[in-house]
A and B are shown apart, each in its own frame.
Chain A
Amino acid sequence: MNQLFTSKKNILWLVGPGVLIMLFAIVAPILLSVYYSLTDWSGFGAKTFIGLANYKEVLFQDPTFWRSLYNALLLLVVTVFIQNVLAFILAAVLNQLKEKYSLVLRTIYFVPAILTVVVITKLWTNMMNPNYGMINKLLGAVGLEAWQHSWISDPKTALGAVIFITVWHGFGWALLFYYSGLTTVPQELHEAAVVDGAGPFKRYTAVVIPYMLPVIQAVIIIDITSCLKQMEIILLSTEGGPGNTTQFVAYHLYEQAFKFSRYGYGNAISIVFVIVALTITMLAQKYLSQANEKL
Chain B
Amino acid sequence: MKIGIKVLFLSMVLLLSAGLLFATGQPDGDSSSVVIKMGDNLPDRTVGLGAVAEAINEEFIAMHPEVSFEVESYQDQPYQQKIKIYATAGQLPDIMKYWSFSTLLKPLVDSKLVVPLDRAALSDLPWMPGALEGNVYGGELYGIPLTADFWVVFYNQAIFDKVGVEVPKTLEEMKAVSAKLSDAGYIPAVTDGKDGWPLSISYDNIFWRVTGDYSLMGDALAGKKPFTDPEFVEAAEIFQELFNTSGVFRNDLVTTDYGAARNLFGQEQAAMYIMGPWEMGMASDENFSESFRSNVRAARFPVLAGDEDQMDNLVAWYGGNYIVKSGSKHEDLAMEYIQLYAEKYADIMWDLQAGFPAQGIQPKADDNQLAKDLLSISASATATSGTTALDMLTPAFKESHQKLCKDLAAGIITPVQFCESLDQALQAALK
Q: B412 near A243 (CB under 8 angstroms)?
A: yes
CA distance A72 to B205 in the complex (A): 38
Check B84–A43 contact: CB distance below 8 A.
Answer: yes
**Is B113 in contact with chain A by the CB < 8 A criterion?**
yes
Cross-chain contact B255 with A44 (CB below 8 angstroms): no
Q: Do A242 and B412 have beta carbons less than 8 Å apart?
A: yes
Contact B252 A242 (CB under 8 A): no
* B411 cross-chain contacts in A, Cβ below 8 A: 155
* Interface status of B284 (Cβ within 8 A of chain A): no
B111–A153 CB distance below 8 A: no
A152 to B256 alpha-carbon distance, docked (Å): 10
Contact B88 A43 (CB under 8 A): yes
Residue B410 at the chain A interface, CB threshold 8 Å:
yes
B193 to chain A: closest residue by CB: A153
B195, closest chain A residue (CB): A239
* Residues in B whose Cβ lies below 8 Å from that of A263: 88
B251→A154 contact, CB < 8 A: yes
Smallest CB-CB separation from B88: which chain A residue?
A43
B56 interfacial contact with A, CB 8 Å: no
Do B412 and A130 touch (CB < 8 A)? no
Hey, which chain B residues are within 8 Å of A152, CB to CB? 252, 255
A243–B251 contact, CB under 8 A? no
0 or 1 for each of B329-343: is its CB under 8 Å from A? (1 = yes): 000000000000000
By the criterion CB–CB under 8 Å, are A242 and B406 in contact? yes
Q: Which of A149, A150, A262 has the most CB of B within 10 A?
A: A150
CA distance A237 to B194 in the complex (A): 10
- A153 interface neighbour in B110, B252, B264, B269, Cβ under 8 Å: B252
- Which residue from B87, B255, B396 sits with its C-beta under 8 Å from A241? B255
B338–chain A nearest beta-carbon distance, Å: 22
Q: Cβ of B168 < 8 Å from any Cβ of A?
A: no
Residues in A135-172 with C-beta less than 8 Å from chain B: 149-150, 152-155
B113–A150 touching, CB < 8 Å: no
- Assess A129 versus B252: contact at CB under 8 Å? Given A42-B107, A44-B111, A258-B81: yes
Query: Is A281 an interface residue when CB atoms closer than 8 A count as contact?
Result: no
- The interface size bin for chain A is 20 to 34
A131 partner residues in chain B, CB cutoff 8 A: 187, 250, 252, 264, 269
Taking a contact as CB atoms closer than 8 A, the residue among A46, A150, A239 that contacts B251 in the complex is: A150
B378-396 interface mask toward A, CB cutoff 8 Å, 1 = contact, 0 = none? 0000000000000000111
| B110 CB contact (under 8 Å) in A43, A45, A130 | A45
Judge if A84 is at the interface, Cβ distance under 8 Å.
no
* Residue of chain A at shortest CB distance from B77: A259
A149 contacts which chain B residues (CB < 8 A)? 251
Q: Tell me the residues in window 256-282 of chain A with beta carbons closer than 8 Å to chain B beta carbons.
A: 258-263
Q: Is there a chain A Cβ closer than 8 Å to B407's Cβ?
A: yes
B271 at interface by CB-CB < 8 Å: no
Distance A69 CA – B103 CA, assembled complex (angstroms): 29
Q: Does B361 count as interface, using CB distance less than 8 angstroms?
A: no
Greatest chain A CB density within 10 A among B108, B250, B251, B252 is at: B252
- Which chain A residues numbered 102 to 143 have a C-beta less than 8 Å away from chain B? 125, 129-131
A44 touches B412 (CB 8 A): no
B172 CB contacts on chain A under 8 angstroms = none
Complex CA distance for A20 and B399, rounded to whole angstroms: 39
Whether the Cβ atoms of B107 and A261 lie closer than 8 Å is: yes
Cα A243 to Cα B107 in complex, Å, equals 27
Q: Which residues of the partner chain B approach A241 to less than 8 Å between Cβ atoms?
A: 194, 254-255, 403, 406-407, 410
Q: How far is the CB of B297 from chain A (nearest CB, A)?
A: 23
Question: In the complex, which residue of chain B has the Cβ closest to the Cβ of A42?
Answer: B107
Given contacts A44-B113, A242-B406, contact A261 B250 (CB under 8 A): no
CA A244 to CA B327, docked complex, whole Å: 40
Most chain B beta carbons < 10 A, residue from A131, A155, A263? A131
In the complex where A131-B250, A259-B399, A262-B396 touch, is A238 in contact with B255 (Cβ < 8 A)? Answer: yes
B85 contacts chain A at the CB level, 8 A cutoff: yes
The smallest beta-carbon distance between B405 and chain A, in angstroms, is 11
A18 to B85, CA, bound (A): 29
Q: Of A46, A153, A243, which one neighbours B413 at CB under 8 angstroms?
A: A243
B112-166 contacts to A, CB under 8 A, are 113
Q: Are A150 and B255 in contact (CB under 8 A)?
A: yes
Which A residue's beta carbon lies closest to that of B254? A242
Residues of A within 8 A of B269 (CB): 131
* Of the residues B88, B250, B395, B410, contact of A155 by C-beta under 8 Å: B410
Select the residue from A42, A243, A261 with max chain B CB neighbours within 10 A: A261
The CA of A238 and the CA of B411, in the complex, are separated in Å by 16
Q: B253 near A: Cβ within 8 Å?
A: yes
Nearest-CB residue, chain B, relative to A258: B81
B407 touches A242 (CB 8 A): yes
* B111 contacts across to A, CB distance below 8 A: 44-46
User: Among A42, A44, A243, A259, which residue has the most Cβ atoms of chain B within 10 A?
Assistant: A44
Determine if A153 and B87 form an interchain contact, defined as CB atoms under 8 angstroms apart.
Answer: no
Do B412 and A261 have beta carbons less than 8 Å apart?
A: no
Those of B206-240 within 8 Å (CB) of chain A: none
User: Could you tell me if A261 and B84 are in contact, using CB atoms closer than 8 angstroms?
Assistant: yes
Asked if residues B250 and A260 are in contact (CB atoms below 8 Å), the reply is no
Q: In residues 83-113 of chain B, which contact A (Cβ within 8 Å)?
A: 84-85, 87-88, 107-108, 110-111, 113
Residues of chain B lying within 8 A (CB to CB) of residue A154: 251
A45: B residues at CB distance < 8 A? 107, 110-111
- Report the separation of the CA atoms of residues A255 and B85 in the bound assembly, to the nearest whole angstrom: 12
Say whether A153 contacts B407, CB under 8 Å.
no
Q: Are B410 and A243 in contact (CB under 8 A)?
A: yes
Top 6 nearest A-B pairs by Cβ distance?
A45-B111, A150-B252, A243-B412, A242-B410, A43-B88, A261-B395
Known: A131-B250, A153-B255. 15 other contacts (CB 8 A): A44-B108, A45-B110, A131-B187, A131-B252, A152-B255, A153-B254, A155-B411, A155-B412, A241-B194, A243-B406, A243-B412, A259-B81, A261-B84, A261-B394, A261-B395
B residues with a Cβ closer than 8 A to A are 81, 84-85, 87-88, 107-108, 110-111, 113, 187, 194, 250-256, 264, 269, 394-396, 399, 403, 406-407, 410-413
Residues of A within 8 A of B (CB): 42-46, 125, 129-131, 149-150, 152-155, 237-239, 241-243, 245, 255, 258-263
Interface CB pairs A-B, < 8 A, 16: A44-B88, A45-B107, A129-B252, A131-B187, A150-B251, A153-B254, A155-B410, A155-B411, A241-B407, A242-B255, A243-B412, A245-B412, A258-B84, A260-B396, A260-B399, A261-B396
